[in-house]
């Protein structure tokens, strides 16, 4: 959840990690760091998209749509920086211009 700036309180983001990861609790997926990052990043980067939209790149479009676009754009940078070796595996699978290309 994104909590916008109000009078004397800064904007902040609240994630319910137990809800985000609930589906994956019974498997080994959470033990694989890139996969765990990808699972959490979907919600995190969507919420980060809200303050980017309101403070850095305002647009006159639906707020949730813009946040979803940032959700799709931002994780590629994180994955490339933290797990560059993953691109060697993913590149043959994901066509150039795909979600990891951003």
**pLDDT tens, 43-73?**
899 888 888 877 777 777 888 898 898 888 8
> How high is the pLDDT of residue 94?
57
State the Cα–Cα distance between residues 57 and 54, nearest whole angstrom. Answer: 7
Q: Which residues face 9 on adjacent strands?
A: 6
In a domain, 73, yes or no: yes
In a domain, 47, yes or no: yes
**pLDDT tens, 13-52?**
899 988 888 877 777 777 888 888 878 888 899 888 888 8
In a domain, 83, yes or no: yes
- If one counts the domains in the chain, the total is 1
**pLDDT of 102 above 70:** no
Phi-psi region of 82 (alpha: psi -120 to 50; beta: other; left: phi over 0): alpha
Stretch 69-85: mean pLDDT: 83
Please, which residues have CB within 8 angstroms of residue 98's CB and are 6 or more apart in sequence?
Answer: none
In a domain, 97, yes or no: yes
Q: What is the pTM of this model?
A: 0.67
Domain of 55 in residue numbering reads as 32-102
In a domain, 64, yes or no: yes
> How high is the pLDDT of residue 90?
65
């Amino acid at each position: 959840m994104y909590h916008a700036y109000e009078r004397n309180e800064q904007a902040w983001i609240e994630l319910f990690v137990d809800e985000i990861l609930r589906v994956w609790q019974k498997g080994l997926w959470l033990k694989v760091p890139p996969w765990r990052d990808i699972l959490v990043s979907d919600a995190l980067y969507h919420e980060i998209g809200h303050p980017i939209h309101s403070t850095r790149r305002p647009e006159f479009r639906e707020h949730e749509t813009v946040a979803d676009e940032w959700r799709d754009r931002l994780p590629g940078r994180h994955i490339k920086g933290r797990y560059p070796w993953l691109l060697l595996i993913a590149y043959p699978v994901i066509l150039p211009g795909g979600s990891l290309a951003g």
